[in-house]
Amino acid sequence: MKKFPFESNSDKYQEGRNLGAAIKSLLSQNLDNQVSFMEKWKLAVKFGLFDSLIPTGKILKNGLIDTLEGLGESCEDGGFLLAIAAHCCAVAAPISRFGNKEQKELLNSMRNGKIIGAFGATEAEAGSDVMSLKTKYIKDGENYILNGEKCYITNIAEANIYLVLATKDHRLHSRGLSAFLIPSDVKGVEIKKNERRMGLHGCSIGNLILNGVVIPKSALLGSIGQGALIFQEALLWERSIIAANQVGTLRRQLKASIQHAKSRKQFNRPIGTNQYVAGRIVDNLSRYYTSRILVKQLLEKLTHETLTQAEVSLIKLFVSEAGLSSSIDTMRTFGGAGYMSDAPFGTDIQDAMGGVIYSGTSDMQKVIIAAELGLL
C-alpha cells in the first residue's frame, strides 16, 4: 500500500489540521507556562469550529469527519478535544433539540464562544446509573429549587452555563428526571477546585455544588420528566464527536510509526523489516482504517437521525479501546525515544486511558450493546 490510506486534501480536512496545528504551536511556545484555556478556545472560534459542530436543528455540515480527523491528528491535546465535545454536544445538541425559542438563542453565543457550556450528570454514587442520582429539584411557585453535587464535570471552571440533571424523586426512576439550564453566576452555585488527574490536562474537571439554587421555570429544558431523553441525546452526540477526533489521533500515530520504522536502523537495517515491529504497525493500520469507516457511517446516521444508542456505544467502545492499544503500540515502536517526556505518546496513553472511562466506560458500553441483543 504505497499511498497512505484515506489521504485527504479536502478543505475541511485542512481546516481541522490547521486549527490543531495552531493549538499545538501555542502549546509549544509556552512550555514553562500553562497555556490558558481561553487562548485555545478563541482559536477554535476563529477557525469556525463551533459553527460546524453546534447543530442547526439536528443537521451537521458536510465534511465533518474530515474536519474532526484533521483536528484530532494535529492537536495532541485530548483534554481540549473533550472540552469541545462537552460544549458542542453534551450541552448545545440537547438545547438544539429540546430548547424553546428563547433557549435556542443561546446557541449563537455558544457558536461565537461567548458562552461555554458544561454538562452535569455524574455524581459520586451515580455515574452510568444516572437514574440513581440524588440531586433534587422542587417546584416553588414559579421557580425551581435545586440541591445536590455533581462530579467530574468537564469545563467546570470556564462554563457560563450548566445543563444539569435532577430528580423530583429517585423512586420515580426515569419519570422523575428533568433537565435545567443554570447560569454560573446564580446564587448557590459553587465550584470545587480543578481535579488533579492522570491525563486530559487541556480542560478543567471538577465538582459543581448546588446549594438551594433558585431558578425560574424558563430554565427547564424540555418538559418535566424528559431528563432521561435529554441525557441520551447528549451522550449520542458526545460519543460520536469524541470518536471522530480519536480517529485523527490514530492517524497521527500510524503515520509517525511508519516514518520511524523506515528511518530508524538497528543491525544495519530499518526496524520496520523486523516482522514484530511491522506487525505492530499493521495492527495500528487496522485500528485506524476500521475506526474511520465506522465513524463515517456513525456521523451519517447522526445527521439523518437514524443512529441508535447501541450503535454509538459499539463504535465508542471500539474506537476508544483502539486508541489505548495504538497509543501503547506506538510508544513501543519508538522504544526509549517514545518513553521520553518530550514525546507525545506518553500523553496519548494518559488521554486514551480517560477515553475508555469518560462518556461511559467500556464496560458500560458492553452492557448497553448486550441489552440491545436481548442478553440482559
CATH topology of domain 11-111: Butyryl-Coa Dehydrogenase, subunit A; domain 1 (1.10.540)
Place of cell 459520586: 124
> Which of 55-59, 96-100, 264-268, 287-291 is the least confident region?
55-59
- Say whether pTM exceeds 0.85: yes
Contact 193, 206 (CB under 8 A): yes
273 DSSP 8-state letter:
G
pLDDT score, position 31: 47
- Verify whether residue 372 is a known catalytic residue: no
Q: Coil, strand or helix: which one is 158? A: coil
Question: Which residue among 123, 238, 305, 372 is the active-site one?
Answer: 238
Mean pLDDT of 173-192: 92
pLDDT exceeds cutoff 90 at 3? no
Smallest CA-to-CA distance from 291 within 329, 244, 326, 353 is with 244
pLDDT exceeds cutoff 60 at 322? yes
Per the model's pLDDT, the better-predicted residue between 8 and 324 turns out to be: 324
327-368: per-residue pLDDT in tens?
999 999 999 888 887 778 888 999 999 999 999 999 999 999
The C-alpha cell of 303 is what? 445527521
The C-alpha cell of 212 is what? 438551594
First-last CA distance in the chain: 43
247 burial type by CB count under 10 A (0-12 exposed, 13-18 middle, 19+ buried): buried
What does the domain layout of the chain look like in residue ranges?
Answer: 11-111, 117-226, 229-372
> Which listed CATH number (3.65.10.10, 3.40.50.300, 1.20.140.10, 2.70.70.10) goes with 229-372?
1.20.140.10
Parallel, antiparallel or unpaired: strands 136-140 and 143-154: antiparallel
Q: Coil, strand or helix: which one is 54? A: coil
- Residue 76 has a CB neighbour count (10 Å cut-off) of 22
CATH topology of domain 117-226: Butyryl-CoA Dehydrogenase, subunit A; domain 2 (2.40.110)
Report CA-CA distances (Å) from 11 to 63, 64, 192: 9, 11, 41
Count CA within 13 A, CB hemisphere, residue 209.
6
- Residue 59 has a CB neighbour count (10 Å cut-off) of 12
pLDDT score, position 189: 96
pLDDT exceeds cutoff 80 at 53? yes
Beta bridge partners of 147: 136, 211
